[in-house]
Amino acid sequence: MMYEPATYKEAITTSKGKEINLSLQVEGNFPESGDATIIVNSSQKASFTLSLRVPSWCTSFSAKIGEKEYTGINNQYLKIDRDWMSGDKIKVSFDIPIQVLNGGKSYPNQIAFQRGPQILAFDSTLNTGLEINTNPLLPTENLEVKNIFDVLPTQWIGKQTYTVNVLDGNGNNSEQQLILVPYADASQTGGDVKVWLPFEVEKQ
């Protein structure tokens, strides 16, 4: 179900009635990336089905065991039925796309950015000198969100930082760079936080 680093332990009954002790060790750095390794440890060789949750927000999901690769469908479970041996490794890889959310009637002329399961936020202390309340922002040719590094304060907990180039909408349309972080990480240095950002969006 989850892809954060963790170890899960369970006693299960196999399809042939064997009672075994099973543990799954998940290694990786989700949600920074969608690459993870699941190490299967069992008390004995056994045949059973292992189901991997494919997140609803991803568009590409694969699991590889040795030379055999399995492809998953979003918002479903990828079921792998095989003879498992202790030490088998499942290499999971999935994309973490960024979506632009329209504020609709609740937040007119505003948008938000969602990266996989995370909502990204604007933190004023990471965007000094950029005023987003006076004038609405304008999208550049495309709202491409990129991962960036080395812009966070030294005491900041977390490593995820993203940037998107926009036009400031104050008449000269100068290009500005918004720095965004996951909402759960925002305001560590006391900054004002915004999720819904004022944008000039086309009316439907």
- Domain architecture of the chain: domains with CATH: 6-94 (2.60.40), 98-198 (no CATH)
Q: What is the 3-state secondary structure (H, E, C) of 55-85?
A: CCCCCCEEEEECCEEEECCCCCEEEEEEEEC
Q: Is the pLDDT of residue 171 over 60?
A: no
Q: Are 3 and 26 in contact (CB under 8 A)?
A: yes
pTM for this predicted structure: 0.82
- Name the helix (H) or strand (E) containing 28: strand 19-28
**For the ranges 129-133, 153-157, 181-185, the one whose mean pLDDT is highest:** 181-185
Closest listed residue to residue 51, CA positions, set 37, 28, 25, 72? 72
Place of tokens 């900041």: 156
The backbone torsions φ and ψ at residue 124, rounded to the nearest 5 degrees and listed phi first, read -65, -30
Rounded CA gap, 19 and 46, in Å? 9
DSSP state of 184: G
Closest listed residue to residue 21, CA positions, set 3, 7, 36, 37? 7
What is the rounded average pLDDT of the residues 137-141? 63
Q: Is the pLDDT of residue 96 over 70?
A: yes
Rounded CA gap, 54 and 5, in Å? 17
Cis geometry, peptide bond prior to residue 31 (ω within 30 degrees of 0): yes
What is the rounded average pLDDT of the residues 144-151? 78
134/78: higher pLDDT: 78
